[in-house]
Structure 1
Amino acid sequence: MEHPDHPFTELFEQLGLASEPEAIKRFIDRHAPIPEDIALPDAPCWNEGQAEFLREAIEEDADWAEVVDHLNTSLRKG
């Protein structure tokens, strides 16, 4: 099955966050690094709906999985 490519900005829109490049950078700078022992959806920076969306994207290898993985990598760097 083909997965559509979602840009990073679209993921932030889907999460209800500001999606301008500067806003994304600020978000990552503010919340990184997330410790390796905390799953991305369990990080304290998400509300319940955002965490559920991220959990489903990862567990179901959904259309969003690749860009969520990019977010995970970005938030692990310190």
Structure 2
Amino acid sequence: MEKPVHFFSDLFEQLGLSSDSDSIEQFIKHHRPLPADMELAEAPCWNEGQAEFLREAIEDDADWAELVDHLDVAMHQDN
């Protein structure tokens, strides 16, 4: 069975956040860099439901996992 194709903007929609490219860029710039030892789902910018979604996406290797990994990298970058 083929996994659904999701875009980065879809992840932000799933999280209940603005999903246009400018809003995504501003969100990441505002909340990064996360400390190297902090898991993405533990970041203070998420509410409980968002954090649980991010955790489950990775733990279950869900079809969202690749995009969550991409967000994790972006949120841990310094620049």
TM range (shorter): over 0.9
- Other-structure match for 1:30: 30
- Residue 51 of structure 1 aligns to a residue whose secondary structure is helix
Q: Which runs of 5+ in 2 are unaligned?
A: none
Q: Which runs of 5+ in 1 are unaligned?
A: none
- Residue 50 of structure 1 aligns to a residue whose secondary structure is helix
Counterparts of 1:77 and 1:61 in 2: how far apart (Å)? 23
Identical residues among aligned pairs (%): 62
- Other-structure match for 2:44: 44
Structure 1 residue ranges, 4+ long, deviating more than 4 angstroms after superposition: none
Residue 3 of structure 1 and its aligned partner are, at CA, apart by 2.7
* Corresponding pairs, count: 78
Counterparts of 2:13 and 2:39 in 1: how far apart (Å)? 21
| TM-score under structure 2 length normalisation | 0.94
CA deviations on 1:33-68 (whole Å, 9 max, x unpaired) are 011111110010100000000000010000100000
